[in-house]
Amino acid sequence: MKTLTAPRLTLVVPCYNEEPMLPKSAPVLSAILHRLMDSNQIATDSKILFVDDGSRDHTWTIITQLRQADTLFTGLKFSRNFGQEAALMAGMQVAHPFSDLIITIDADLQDDPRVIGAMVQQAKEGFDIVYGVRNDRSTDTWFKRTTAEAFYWTMGKLGVELVPDHSDFRLLSHRAVTALMTYTESTPFIRGIIPKLGFPSTKLYYKRQPRAAGTSKYPLKRMLRFALSGIFSLSLAPLRAIMYLGFTICTAATIALLWLLGLHLNGLTTNGALLTSLWLLGGLQLIGLGVIGQYVGQILRETQHRPHFIIQTETFSTAFLAAPLTVTPHHEHQSVN
């Protein structure tokens, strides 16, 4: 069967307050894509799509300047900050109709863009999904490394399928993005959804680089919120845990009641047992209500049908949108996960 020939590639780059970083990362990405074009590995009308996620600095000004200097660059700007997941989905949704391949990568270039060529080659060999995976965490602090390991371990135990040490650096084929777009929840947990697509996949390992400019957009508070979003979006394990805990408490309470009844029949009394039990049960009830409340809140967001993002402006050209696809069937082979 045929493979992809000079596929149209779109790099989707979410940006939030990347004024210090864009002047450094844009030339690097441009050079890589031009080199791939010159060697006929990708089509000459491939693009770099910057998605400005409501930045408060001059990120959008830089994007428009890049567009004026080179039509390789294009961009869209949100009316406010909607979050990285929304920026990724928006970029893929906009690029999907006119792209054979889409690669998502952060603007800070800590994910090594030099493996983009290898990703394209893997796509030509028939893989619909190519994960960029860090080969080690030696540059992380002990705290960050430990919390990352705890995150992947916890998500695995809760039944959420993730690729360890993979963030948002990945390649998706046209049909993989088509399948991804069928997931319409208001807060999609993309890292957990993509492994569920089931298409042939593989991994490419790279060494993560230090950030050249700007600051990290993922402080501890946001990382915790991100982890909880993944749990409540893709796992019912917390609800089952509450049910099992309820059965356990009922069993323990029955045993304790029989024990106290035996003491009472023997003329003995105990102090504080009732108060302690009430505090314990009250705390467990509040925890249970909190977990259930998270799921109820998730249901509320889905039923409100609010827009996932609002585009304020963009820099597309008519020719860019109208160009035809060159996608052809993939090889059929075993998925590698």
Domain boundaries along the sequence of the chain: 9-219+307-322, 237-304
* pLDDT score for 146: 77
The overall average pLDDT reported for the chain is: 79
* pLDDT score for 39: 93
Helix or strand run (H / E) with residue 137: none
Per-residue CA distances from 197 to 118, 119, 181, 191 (Å):
22, 18, 11, 11
C-beta of residue 106 within 8 angstroms of C-beta of residue 119: no
Distance CA 78, CA 53 (A): 5
> Does the structure show a pLDDT above 60 at 122?
yes
Helix or strand run (H / E) with residue 88: helix 84-95
List, for residues 124-137, the tens digit of each pLDDT value.
Answer: 999 999 999 988 76
- What does DSSP say about strands 73-78 and 101-104: parallel, antiparallel, or unpaired? unpaired
- Beta-carbon contacts of 306 under 8 Å, excluding residues fewer than 6 positions away, are 186
* pLDDT score for 283: 67
- What does DSSP say about strands 311-314 and 47-52: parallel, antiparallel, or unpaired? unpaired
Highest mean pLDDT among 78-82, 162-166, 286-290: 78-82
> Does the structure show a pLDDT above 60 at 91?
yes
What class, spelled out in words, does domain 9-219+307-322 have in CATH? alpha beta
**Mean pLDDT across 117-123:** 94
> Does the structure show a pLDDT above 60 at 282?
yes
List, for residues 290-308, the tens digit of each pLDDT value.
Answer: 777 777 776 766 675 666 6
List the structure tokens of 222: 């946001």
Highest mean pLDDT among 30-34, 79-83, 110-114, 137-141: 30-34
* pLDDT score for 199: 93
Distance CA 97, CA 316 (A): 13
Backbone CA torsion sign across 246, 251, 257, 260: negative
Distance CA 36, CA 34 (A): 5
**Mean pLDDT across 55-66:** 93
The number of beta carbons lying within 10 Å of the beta carbon of residue 159 is: 13
- What does DSSP say about strands 101-104 and 9-15: parallel, antiparallel, or unpaired? parallel
**Mean pLDDT across 209-231:** 65
Higher pLDDT, 323 or 238: 238
**What are the b/e assignments for 8-34, b being 16+ CB within 10 Å?**
bbbbbbbbbbbbbbbeebbeebbebbe
Share of the chain above pLDDT 90, in %: 35
* pLDDT score for 7: 93
**Mean pLDDT across 84-90:** 89
List the structure tokens of 41: 């590995």
* pLDDT score for 246: 72
